[in-house]
Structure 1
Amino acid sequence: MYFVRIHDINSEDDKKHLNALSVAALIMVAYFMILLISENIFTIAMTSWVRIFTFIFLLLLLIPTPLGIAFKAQMEDTERLLLLQTFSTKSIISLKKISTSTTVHDPMEYHDHELPVDTCQENDDTFDDIIILQKDMNLQQAICTENFWLLFIAMICGLGTGVATIDNINQVGVSLGYTSTEINSLVSLLCISNFLGRFMVGYVSDMFLQRRGLARPLFVAITQAALSVGYIVIASGFPKNLYVGMILVGACWGSQWPLLTTIISEIFGVTHLGTIFNTISIASPIGSYIFSVRVFGYIYDKAAASSGGDQNNSCSGTHCFMLSFMILAFFALCGSLVALLLFFRTRRFYDNVVLTRLRQYYKI
């Protein structure tokens, strides 16, 4: 926090630099994905000198991209502040000269970027009229709505099944004959795809909400339907299936978190956002217990016992987890249907309140 500084924002410049940072992040993610896929799926051998070269290339990639963008943004900020101070000083001197023969005005009235007071007041009144349609709810009020429970059930199916998969990724890999190096690569792929899911769903849901008026619960339904496909891919057991399945599961599971936060802020308001968000987030450990302990653990123990496992009660083969992932796919699909119901219930609310507020703010 010591390094945090508060500056006046310039939305156009900030958007330009943030987009550049996003592109840099995607380039590095693509770089890691290519390395992991080349080494594990296409089994391209990485000698020591190749690893050193790729590591040096990564360091060179880090210097001119995110660091360069940050330094450039800081320099532009400094130049803009200096220009603003110079302009303000000249304006005050000019006004002092004019004040001898005319009425003195507030220097701020001469800034080109200031809107007239009446216009600002009119915009504020319009904005207040829009906001009054949506009263921020506290936790007790939110719990008494059907939308809260629909979102909670959808998150049990989406977040709970995803956490159960992450908890058991090592056992799944061992049962299918993956080496420890390959399992570590699966974890890396899961983390990378998790980032991509969080990043892309925000951009895509914003775009479709502003341009097509599609409410965000629809994207919860879509990502959970894709999540069920990922579970079916893992259950199928074809060669290298875990790489494909983990990419799908990571991206779709990661996308649930930003969607959850944004949907809560839009439906229930931002005043009690933290309390409502953390309450609904309880769906993740609840779902993890149900699917990891009562589904994965129970079915794995039965499969190990029926196949005559060793003293460690271990199990090998696709049958160890096939049924578990099919059950997860079923519940992820159920969560998708629940989210779809939430989408239809809140579609008019998004049209009348959320979209109107966005258009008023962004002057769409």
Structure 2
Amino acid sequence: MLCLAIRIVAFVALILLLASPLCIAIGAQQRESNRVSQTLLAEGDQLIDGESNWRDTEKSHIQDPSGYRHLPSNNTDQELDNDRTLQSGANFNLVQAMCTMDFWILFIAVAFGMGSGFATINNLNQIGGSLGYRTFEKSTLISLWSIWNFLGRFGAGYVSDHFLHLRGWARPLFMGITLAGMSIGHVVIASGMPCALYTGSLLVGVFYGSQWSLMPTITSEIFGVLHMGTIFNAITIAAPVGSYIFSVRVIGHIYDKEASTAWNTCTGTHCFRLSFLIMACATLLGSLTALALFFRTRSFYSQDIDGTSNT
């Protein structure tokens, strides 16, 4: 009876966690409705003032040193607005995006971050086996990974939004922080200490999920939303590429080298220690590349926030 009650409570808590993003969506919709209402009122005032004010507004384009430009959002001619946005560089197509340094910085960060995350979950069962975990414990690890992944996706979006609008912190900064957190998680797993696999998988799972929350948003903000789907999915090609490198060329190769020739199995912390140290260095390098993107786009984000607050 007690077990049934615990399962019901856990089920209800999980359903509430899964439904919690609806609150964010509803709140965002309300804020967007308020913003649109304020914009319509401002447009009405500008129409009363006459065409001269509209021309003054057209001359107030903002351009920062990194090459990003922002246009006022009160154009009534949609086709004219799209043409000017494309000319300003706010919306890139795939070819244009691939010609920028920002695209390849994101590509490298995804390869190191998501690639090592894929490699961890792909080998989590085998890692547990090498450390002597029972089947139930290995299944629990994989189930917990899904929860940590969800919490990372939910939390990173909320935290990055909060600090972006409150203090103007560029979103790539949080990408660098999460990659550094993944590096710490890999080191914890490599240590082989008691419960290290639980603690390390928690850190890697949360920060791995954070990457999936931050990457689409950063892509849309830097390259625009017109071709966001194509550009983002082109960047995420780095995830399976990184997964192949870390899973096959790093973890698989080192495991086979450490395994006994008789049974082709490996037991002990040495089976995966070097692999996770390599992935820790890779995610730390990915964190540095994300910080480079942060410094490249910091003025762009600050001007974007200033422009939003003034509308």
TM bin (shorter chain): 0.7 to 0.9
2:146 matched residue in structure 1: 191
- The alignment partner of 1:115 has SS state of helix
Change (3 A) 1:65 1:124: farther
Could you say which structure has the larger radius of gyration? Answer: 1
SS at match of 1:142: helix
5 Å matches for 1:331-350? 331-350=282-301
Mark the CA change 1:350 to 1:187 in structure 2 (over 3 Å): closer, same or farther: same
- Which of the numbers 151, 160, 165 marks the counterpart of 2:115? 160
Q: CA shift at 1:358, angstroms?
A: 3.3
Q: Structure 1 segments of 4 or more deviating over 4 A?
A: 58-67, 120-129
- How far apart in 1 are the matches of 2:252 and 2:18? 43
Choose which of 53, 56, 66 in structure 1 pairs with 2:8. 56
Greater CA deviation, 125-134 or 259-268? 125-134
Residue 27 of structure 1 is matched in structure 2 by none
Tell me, which stretches of 5 or more residues in structure 2 are unaligned?
Answer: 27-36, 62-69, 72-84
CA distance in 2, matches of 1:213, 1:56: 42
Identity of aligned residues (%): 52
What is the deviation of 1:63?
Answer: 8.9
Structure 1 residue 192, shift from structure 2 partner: 0.7
Distance 1:66 1:228, change over 3 A: closer
Q: Which residue of 2 aligns with 1:107?
A: none
User: Any stretches of 5+ residues in structure 1 without a counterpart?
Assistant: 1-48, 75-110
Distance in 1 of aligned mates of 2:6 and 2:162: 35
> What residue number does 2:41 align with?
115
Q: Shift of the alpha carbon at 1:194?
A: 0.6
Root-mean-square deviation (CA), in Å?
3.0
TM-score, reference length from structure 2: 0.78
Letter in 2 for 1:355: I
> Separation in 2 of the partners of 1:221 and 1:134?
25
Give the SS at the match of 2:41.
Answer: coil
Question: What is the aligned length?
Answer: 269
Q: Do the aligned residues in 2 keep the contact of 1:233 with 1:241 (CA within 8 Å)?
A: yes
Structure 1 residue aligned with 2:183: 228
Q: Aligned match of 2:280 in 307, 329, 332?
A: 329
Q: CA deviation at 1:357?
A: 4.3
Deviation string, structure 1 residues 82-126 (Cα, Å, up to 9, x no partner): xxxxxxxxxxxxxxxxxxxxxxxxxxxxx9x97375326589985
Paired position in structure 1 for 2:161: 206
Distance in 1, Cα, partners of 2:158 & 2:110: 21
Query: Displacement of 1:56 after TM fit?
Result: 3.1
CA distance in 2, matches of 1:285, 1:194: 17
Asked whether the 8 Å contact 2:90–2:222 carries over to 1, the reply is no
